[in-house]
Amino acid sequence: MARLLTSLVVLSVHCAATLAFSVSSSPSQTVNGIGASGAWWPNDVYQFPDSVREQVAELLFGQSGAGLTSYRYNIGAGGSGVSNPTRAPQTFYVSPGQYNWSADAAGVYFLQKAAQANVPQLTAFINSAPPAMTSNGRACGGNLVDGQIQAFAQYITDVIAHFRDEGIHFTHVSPMNEPDDTFGSCGQEGMQVTPQQRANVVNTLRTTLDNAGLQSVGIMADESSSTGNFLPEASQWLPQVRKGALAAVSHHQYGFNNDATVAQLGSTGRSLSGVDTWFTEICCFTAASSSQKSNPAAALTYGAAYEPTMVGALQLGQLVYQSFTQAQDAHFDFWTALSNEIGCSPLNNPSCVTTANTNGWNDGLIYYDSSFASNRNTAVYQTKRLFLMKHLAQFIWLGSTRFGVSGLPSNVVGMAFKSSSSQSTPIGSARASLILMNMGTSATSVTPSQAGLGNFAGGAVTSSSTDWQTFGASSSVSLPGLSITTLLFN
């Protein structure tokens, strides 16, 4: 009995010690934006009633919604050859120097909404050059023609200058997307841009932008699909980029690689370019092992799954955490903000939109009915991923600095951010945030004062039972199982 009592005492001391956490005093990277893209859903959602279009804009860009701080507008190439009409955006291009500014009313509508909401980072991105500049005369399956690089750069510049004249100021431009791939299956626009062409595209575009008075528009490249593309190719093009021509090295992470490889991507990108790395696209993740599909911390892979619950939100959270702590990216974008890949029919089974299935895809923050044209269902369905993005966008302020967090309860990962100025938030003013993701199914508590981030002012939580709930200050905060909680400090 005495021996048992002794071991219990030891155990409780051990538990108390493991619950103390700390925020590092060494600053990591500066973070500058959280967003998603406007491919290709505007082509559908533009056909919805005006009230729904307004609702979607508010959910993405408004302060009652996610308040995204980055939006990526897709400059379409007209979709020649593309089999899926939703993924065939109209093009402004008519012929060299001739443009049809009435084209792509759908995409431009949501771009204007983002600009009106003062989304601070607007990127224009390109999947394919106009067919006149590709090797096969289509918007998919070909290569960018060497002799057209100058015309391609001038076309992009003319589009950006047009929007500037309309009062829409792009902060960034991305002239190629996953350039290893010709996108020969033609399910979407795309073109190959060889590693030998990439620096030429960036350098030429820098000159045409500068000549048009668009020095403030930063160029990002090369939107590599994965570390498996980026790592062997980076040394073939980044050293040929003119100093000052590139604002960021943009990448995707469809290889779902391990931490060490992702860290190597970040350090390689920065050391070869001298600029930040940005994570600019991810979707379509599912647990690598189907037995792990309800585990938010499971190893992930590319594949079909519609996971609108906290599990899907925390799986994306896992990728964000890896991007910020391993690649040390300065920016994070999800892929398409909206998707119709629900994998079920909401009119036949209303509860299916909040239930995981393996027919749909994790490629939206908000979903809509793929049969809207025939069944007139223009409702939109929010996932818990939208609320993960709301934590990130509202509490990782532009220009804030990340600090590592260690010693958290098991299954909890955390990231701290400090701003040099006071920020207004739904909870009040704050200078620091601590975003905590509980990947476990049981609740656990933290003591906010241990963060050493200032006076605890309260926060917001997203869990299975609430999309978004704010709370005030207290000495201890319970983190529900499968939750995202942000603590704010002033």
Ligand X SMILES: *[C@@H]1O[C@H](CO)[C@@H](O)[C@H](O)[C@H]1NC(C)=O
Nearer to ligand X, 102 or 348 (CB): 102
Q: In angstroms, what is the minimal distance from the CB of 79 to ligand X?
A: 11
Nearer to ligand X, 104 or 341 (CB): 104
Q: Using CB atoms, what's the residue nearest to ligand X?
A: 100
Q: In angstroms, what is the minimal distance from the CB of 242 to ligand X?
A: 36
Q: In angstroms, what is the minimal distance from the CB of 91 to ligand X?
A: 9
Nearer to ligand X, 102 or 476 (CB): 102
Distances 467 to 301, 308, 321, 356, 438 between C-alpha atoms, Å: 26, 12, 20, 17, 15
Nearer to ligand X, 158 or 467 (CB): 158
Q: In angstroms, what is the minimal distance from the CB of 327 to ligand X?
A: 39
Nearer to ligand X, 103 or 231 (CB): 103
Nearer to ligand X, 103 or 161 (CB): 103
Q: In angstroms, what is the minimal distance from the CB of 434 to ligand X?
A: 48
Nearer to ligand X, 48 or 93 (CB): 93
Q: In angstroms, what is the minimal distance from the CB of 38 to ligand X?
A: 17
Q: In angstroms, what is the minimal distance from the CB of 139 to ligand X?
A: 15
Q: Which residues would be at the binding site for ligand X (CB under 6 A)?
A: 90, 94, 100, 102-103
Nearer to ligand X, 51 or 102 (CB): 102
Q: How far apart are CA 329 and CA 439, in angstroms?
A: 22
Q: In angstroms, what is the minimal distance from the CB of 161 to ligand X?
A: 19
